[in-house]
Structure 1
Amino acid sequence: MERILLFLVMAYMCVCFSCTPSKSELNQYFFDINREVSVAVAGHDIEKIKDIYNRELKKYKEFNTKQYLISSKFVELSLYQNRYDKDKQLLLYELIKINDDQYDYISIACNYYLSIQLENTSPELSLEFLKKAIVLDEKSGKNYFLPHLYHQQGRYYYQLKNYNKALFYFNKCLKTLDKSSIIFIASMHNNFALCYHKLGKTNLAIEETNKAIKLLEEKKNKVVEDELFLHYIQGNLGDYYVKLKNYSKAKELYKNEFDFEKKGGFMREITSSSKRLFSLYSLTNDQEGFEELIEFLSGKQDAPTTLSDKIQINRMLQSYYGANNDLQKLKIFSANGIKLNEEYNSQLVKNQIETSDLLNSYIVKNANQKYIYEKKRNISLILIITLSVILSIVIINNIISRNKKERELIKKQKIILEDSKKLLEQDIEIQEQKLKNLYLGFNLKIEMEKAFLDSLKSTKRNKEQDIEQVLKDLLLKLTNLIQIDKRNYDLKAESSLQNELFIKRLSKRYSNLTNHELKLCVYFRLGLSSKEISSFENTTPNTIRVYKTKIKTKIGLEREYGLDDFLKNI
């Protein structure tokens, strides 16, 4: 029963705490997944992303492990093309809940992505997610997203117009970037320039911008996005030349940016370059440039751009027609502007409500998840404790039962030993008595032999004695000697058998004893003195004492212990 319960407990614990890959191995697994997905994202290969997602989802369905649930959800994030998609935000909250801070890579990634999601609608909350991601990444020592996290924090402070602090984080980003990341390094130099421009250090801004432009121009295998970024930075350089009142250089840079975006159909980006040109034309009163720009913008009112871009285009048109006193078109674009602003405000409120709902939903779900987890964990603990208590009770009862049986067995053995001891003591007493009788018989025989010899000598000296009477006396004494010999022989025969058994036991235990020493042990066991033993062995008492000391040494008996008592217990 005890073994069965032990097996059940061990089996349950194995199920609960089954062997899985280490956290570092799984962090590396997620890192490799993200690198694979990033290649597909860079190539705009949505089908490849779907293949990776289906592969991880299949693994989850097959193995039903948390690892593949997380990896499939993580890949699913890349299927949302709009980085500010609300469904993507909800998926991020769900992924954070599933991960539960178990794997650093996922925790860092989700907090980073959420900070991007919320940077426009809830900057303070965005910063909270960002700070948590930075702490985790710095602690991991892996720099999974660290350069991008510092960049994001620099952007946050730039938006707060804390340009010195923004410079600090942009510089931290640059120091942690891989030297092969040309685009990101160029981006940091561009960010330095933006901060210097705001701080009134225009020459430094131009210097940093030229560094960025040089890096991008020298970059091999440039893609369209690289060219778009290069023209954007050149547009920034135009801003700095405007600050220096070098309007012709600024116009050249602005126009290059605008023409590239116009030719490539980059409608979102072209709004920014249009604003730059509009400001420059207003400053230089360039009517020809104005007319060309307004004509272009008027035809792009319904282009598929964001509400924010549409509002900015509309404002430029309102400003132009207002400055030129074209009241009819001003009225049209003013009405359109009001409509766009209302739509934008409505959308902003909606986004804030959705963000709030998502957060509340996440908090509630997270609380429920924690409650369910705690409940499951408590049930598991109760079950383990219950099984442990049952097992302990069974083991304790088993131990008590065994101890009871052992005590009873020891008691019985003690009784048997005491009985055996009594029988042995009785046997020794009998043997000692027999030995004494044998000893007395030997002495009596000696006395009879002496008396017999004295009688013979007396007869020889006194020839006048009665021969017949003398013979009768001698015959009587001779008969007594024969009787004594017979009695001694019987005692010796009876003792010899027991002595042989004793010698056999003793020699088996102490094989280093000689035959003569074994024989002497028989006498020592019977409690005979050295003098008595010497008379049997035809030697001196001192010799017997020497043998006794040698025997004690061989059997390892200390001096203070008696050899006689020791031999009696064998």
Structure 2
Amino acid sequence: MFTVLNEITMLFIYRFFTPLLLILFCINVYTLNAQKKHISDISFPQKKWHIERLTKNDSSHIEWETKLARHNFTKDTIAQINVLNNLGELYCNRINYEKSYDSYWKALLLAEKTNNPAAMATSYTGIGILYSLYNRRPEALKYYLKSLEINKLLVKKNELKATALIKNYLPLATHYFYNNDPETMRSYLETAELITTLNNPYINFLKVHFGYLSLLEKNYAKAIKQLLPHENYFLNEKPSYLVVLYAMLGDSYFGLKEYKKAIFYYEKSNAIGYQYKNHLNFIPDTYKKLSEVYQQMNNESKALKNLLTSLEINQYLYSSRSPNNQYLLEIKDQFMLEKERLDKLAAEQQLEQLLHTESLWRLRYIIMLISALFLVVLGVVIYRYTTTKLRNEKKMLLQKKELETKKSEEILEIKNKELTESTLRLMAKDELLNEVKTNLKEISEQPNSHSVKKLIKTISVNSKENWSEFESRFTMVNQGFYSRLKKKYPDLSQYDLKVCALIKLGFSGKEMAKVMGISHESANTSRYRLRKKINLDKNVNLVEFINDI
């Protein structure tokens, strides 16, 4: 039973499924042949056309090369360096990497020779970009950092504004964009943001780089919001940069799966690239992304076409079979090799010169040493002579001053003695007169005493004249005493000044009473009042205090 059923089943499969399988096989063969024919039709006829579009009608380098020839003739080294750096950038954008590389290294050699660090930094950045294009990222980073280090040193020396460092931070941010390192990229962008002012020409480049950062972080909607507002600026100021901007917008819309908008911006990016012959390295990547977009849209024909175009241009730009890049596959640090050669030559010349002048320098050193020893000895002699002379002069001046001081003290002592004697005589005279005065008063009480009263008045006048004579002689001996006393204590009366003068001369209270014609108690009271007026502490001796004035 089962055998019969198996035979019937096999017969059914043979009769109905075998023709169906043959039909499917034929369809597949036809489809593959059609695709092969389509590939042939797309790739080979397009190849020459795309490459010609990249290089056709490109004469912008002629102007710069003419300038370089003129500056070479005039030997204007600074101008030569600037033109070479500009040519390096131009050739890089035109995918002529060999000439770009040569231009940057020539500029670097001249900048090194003329000690122009700013130009060296520019050349290092350009060389870093070239290494980056060939995906040699460690070497690219090395040159970016060299450039940044030089410019930071120039900023520290106030030879370059800090805002200029943005030209270093942006390439470094781009480097880490392609390294898929958003954190490091953000750190460089935020550092650049801190030093950038609103009027800085690179402010728009900085802002779109934040859009690239959002794209790297796969925040596509935010990236579009950050990129689109700057489209008009670049249309008016730097249309060639739209190659990059449109490519990034295409990536953002691709990430959002808005494929039509992605295609729109990718094609605009390529059109700008062909038009301005700038950032041509983006074109093969953009064609590859177009291929991916069409593949997502299930348009295999356009996907394949764009992929082949990408491969074709990429091969022309970077393949070893490209005559444009055979030189660059073996990138070597020509600058370092040339620098080593020049350093070696300079060292040999320096050694020869040193050998030639060694004996002359030795003689110079001997002469200098002898001269130095002579100057030291001469200096010691002059120093000793001057020191001895000054010491003797100082000694003589001190002796002379001591003699003058001693003489002045002796004279002052003699004068004070004379004044004291004179005062004592005046005291005796006043005492006698007081006695006469007393007697005359008694006589005046008798009748007919007019003449006697007149005599008493005359005696009083003589007493005042005696005090005037005393003050005059006291002032001559003790010059400045009264003026110092009045300046320090302006409230002192004439009577107080007399008391101070008598204390200065060493009069006791009893003697002061006799001179001034007052009682002993009044004299002591006068001394007490004087102490109070000058606000003298009880522990301070009045006589010593007056003598120190």
**Which TM-score bucket, shorter chain as reference?**
0.3 to 0.5
TM-score by length of 1: 0.46
TM-score by length of 2: 0.47
